[in-house]
Structure formats: C-alpha cells, structure tokens
Structure 1
Amino acid sequence: MEQQEAADDAVLTRIGQAVMLLHGGDREEARNRFGALWSEIGERGEALHRCTLAHYMADTQDDPGDELAWDLRALAAAEGLGDERSEGQRSALALQVFSPSLHLSLAVDYLKLQHPQAARLHLDRARELVKALADDGYGRRMRTAVEQLERTLPAG
C-alpha cells in the first residue's frame, strides 16, 4: 500500500513539475513531459492522474480540436474518479474541485470551435458546479471565469 502511495505521489510530482514549466511559459517542454507521462500511465492509469494530466495537456495544445480532445479525456477520467472506490474521499474531493474547471475548459474549447450550443451546455454545468466550491481564491477565480465566459458567449 505504501509503495503504491509513493508511486502515486511520484506521478503527481512529475505532473506538477510539467505544470510549472507550462506556467513558466515553456509549453513545448511541458507538452513533451506530459506526453511521456501519458505514455507511461495511459488510458488504464489511475483516474486522478489521467484527469490531471489530460487537463493540463489540453493547455499545451496549439490546435483547438486537439485541446478539446484532451479536455474530453480529462472529463472522462474525472467521471471515472467516482468509480475508484479504493480512492474514496480523495477521489470525491478531486472530482468536486476539478469538475467546474473541466466544464469551463470544455465551454471555452467549444466556443473556439464555433459550437456555441455545446459551449453553453458546459458553461451551465460549470455554473452549477462552482456553487460547491469554497469561498477561497480558487473558488472565486472559478466563479469569475464563469461570469466572464457568460458575457463572452452569445445569447441563446
């Protein structure tokens, strides 16, 4: 059990290192590291790892269609978090925290691809999910992002 937890922590640490590269402006190196990690953990890896990795991998994409594909992988993995009973509380919390951001990202992706109805669907879902977030920095950022996208998205 401890060995598995250490391996999980190592994967999350490596994802975090690539995220730091991404936020530091080195999208190409971040994309390379995320790609290598995805090759290691793949579609059968732990849902939390797949969700986190795919969510950030989407941000490294140049093509909006590729970005959408990675965000859809992240959402599919997030939906699998509830199925991993061994993860229990950790998975439930991760799903609650990740879900608004995932739906917001999908709304942005669909807007970029000129699919406003799909964008609206995910924006509406994000708006509902942010209600469960704490009134902390992350929660406020998510609520602000939802409000900003609401003003950008065409009515209807």
Structure 2
Amino acid sequence: MITDPVLLRIGQVVQRGHAGEREAARLEMERIWEEIGGEDGDPLSQCTLAHALADMQDDPGAELAWDQRALAVAALVTDEHTARAGVELSAAALYPSLYLNLAECYRKLGDLDRAREYLAHAQDTIGALGDDAYGQLIREGMQTIADQLR
C-alpha cells in the first residue's frame, strides 16, 4: 500500500482529473512539480508526476514532453525507492506503462515507426508486471495500440 504522501497526493489529483476536473488537476500537478523540486526532486515522485501530467495535456507534443521526462527519470528509480514509498511494484515494472504511453504519443503525432518502436519496448518489458488487474490494463492498452498501428 502506498505510504508516500507525495504519491498519495498525486493519486488524489489524478482522480480529480479523471472525474472531469482535468484543467484544475493539471494546474495542481504543476504546483506539485514545483514543490517537489522539479527536475531535482525525488526520482519516483518525478517519474510518477510526469507520467500523470502527460495524461492531463491537451496537446500531443506537450504530452510527449512529459512522457519523455518520466522515462528519463525512471532510470534513477530503484526498488529501494518503490519499497520505501509503499509501492508494490519493482522499479522495472514502471517501464511497460512508460513505453506504452510514448507509443501512444507517437501514434497521435503520426510517427508510426517510433510508435512501433516504443510498443516493442513495452512488449519487451511486460514480464516485469504480474497477472493482476494492473498488468492486464497495460496488456490491453498494448493490444489496443498494436491494433491501431496495423
């Protein structure tokens, strides 16, 4: 169970965004980004927040930029970070979703070769996820994008 207060706050703001308060959620996430130190903050918080902020963007280019930030900082996240925050996933389990989101961004932008490249990365890393609801969600997302890229 997640115990890190920043990650819990991000989760609450994400829920607001999904409940229709997208603009307010995006602005709150940008405030959190500044509060956690932006590019100099905790890597797990940065990765989680950038990943979530990408989903709140209306412009695919801005979405891509946030997803790229999330992927870049993911390399700094360790299993110790996830365990300390109460996240039940390994650091490696972050990658399938990060790659999936990048594949979707590139698909939206019409760069189908890059979309396929990132979908392949997602497929290569999916073994880090279990056969639970989250793993199924990511697998279904991968199938959806694969179908759209055909």
Q: Same fold by TM-score, threshold 0.5 exceeded?
A: yes
Q: Could you tell me how far apart the structure 1 residues matched to 2:83 and 2:9 are?
A: 23
Amino acid at match of 1:130: I
Q: Are 1:13 and 2:8 counterparts?
A: yes
Match of 1:30 in 2: 25
Q: Could you tell me how far apart the structure 2 residues matched to 1:52 and 1:126 are?
A: 17
Work out whether residues 48 and 94 of structure 1, in 8 Å CA contact, stay in contact via their aligned partners in 2: no
Residues 88 and 112 from structure 1, CA distance in 2 versus in 1: closer, same or farther, beyond 3 angstroms?
closer
Q: Could you tell me how far apart the structure 1 residues matched to 2:10 and 2:34 are?
A: 13
Identity of aligned residues (%): 46
CA deviation map 1:29-71 (0-9, x unaligned): 1101100011112101010000000001001101000000000
Work out whether residues 82 and 91 of structure 2, in 8 Å CA contact, stay in contact via their aligned partners in 1: no
Match of 1:77 in 2: 73
User: Which ranges of structure 2 fall in alignment gaps of 5 or more residues?
Assistant: none
Amino acid at match of 2:42: E
- Partner residue of 1:102 out of 79, 82, 98: 98
Amino acid at match of 1:111: R
CA deviation map 1:100-153 (0-9, x unaligned): 011000000001111111111100010111122111111111111111211111
Work out whether residues 81 and 92 of structure 1, in 8 Å CA contact, stay in contact via their aligned partners in 2: no
**The structure with more radius of gyration:** 1
User: Which ranges of structure 1 fall in alignment gaps of 5 or more residues?
Assistant: 1-7
TM-score, length basis structure 1: 0.85
Q: Give the CA RMSD over aligned residues.
A: 2.0
Q: Could you tell me how far apart the structure 2 residues matched to 1:9 and 1:30 are?
A: 19
Q: Are 1:39 and 2:71 counterparts?
A: no
- Which gives a bigger RCO, structure 1 or 2 (Cα 8 Å, sep 6+)? 2
Residue 14 of structure 1, CA deviation? 1.5
Residue 9 of structure 1, CA deviation? 2.1
Work out whether residues 123 and 146 of structure 1, in 8 Å CA contact, stay in contact via their aligned partners in 2: yes
